[in-house]
Amino acid sequence: MPSPLEEWYLQIPICTRIYMTATFALTLALQMEWTTPFQVFYSYEYAVSRGQYWRVVTTFLYMGKFSLEWLLNMYFIIQYCRDLEEGSFLNRPADFAWLLILMCVALLVVAPCLGFMYLGSLLVSSLTYLWSRLYSYLPINFMGMFTISAAYLPWVMLAFSSVVESRWPKGELVAIMVGHTFWFLSEEWPRRAESGGRRVLRAPKLLCKLLHQDLDNDADNADGVAVE
């Protein structure tokens, strides 16, 4: 009989489980000094020119070493990423995986221009923004201090980072921009008449077959779609 921890782990949907596990594995490797932050950051020179292609992946798994900030990012992955995969993307694991891939590509293009080499927290913030738009009606207790609607969560986090860290939150702004773009493309655009009901973020057929997603599965007919 599996243990409660094993049952909980296996109940996490596939994309969230892989992302959570890979992030934990990299953090453990950093904590044990099997690798260093220098070996996992992203730069075009190292990743492409020098052929160190793993940096394209590890930059999104880096959340620092075990710390309170690391725990917060892991909570967001387990809570909000899972909510997305089990809610708006229910029965569409390939579409969700494709969304993650495209978000990563967008961050790889935009973030390095602003000097960001570690993109894990930006990806988590982008997913959190997407979640906040899809579940905007939910109340959120922010750090036990006050309750807000989920729609305001990214902006409260942005303001909180600005005050606590005494810096201009350009990383959070980039994440919000990317999250809003993909919210519009995945949820708002298909509802507009000019779209013809066509979704522009449908996963490729190969990915659908790999993740056992019905090729005829339309998101508009999927259960659990969140509506603002």
Give pLDDT, residue 224. 38
Task: Report the mean per-residue pLDDT for the chain.
Answer: 88
Determine the Cα angle at 115 with ends 15 and 24, to 5°.
30
Q: Indicate whether 225 belongs to any domain.
A: no
Q: Indicate whether 222 belongs to any domain.
A: no
56: domain CATH number is 1.20.1540
What's the total number of domains in the chain?
Answer: 1
Give pLDDT, residue 186. 87
Q: Indicate whether 28 belongs to any domain.
A: yes
Q: Indicate whether 224 belongs to any domain.
A: no
Give pLDDT, residue 217. 58
Q: Which positions of the chain have pLDDT values less than 70?
A: 1, 216-228
Q: What is the extent of the structural domain holding 73?
A: 4-216
Give pLDDT, residue 192. 83
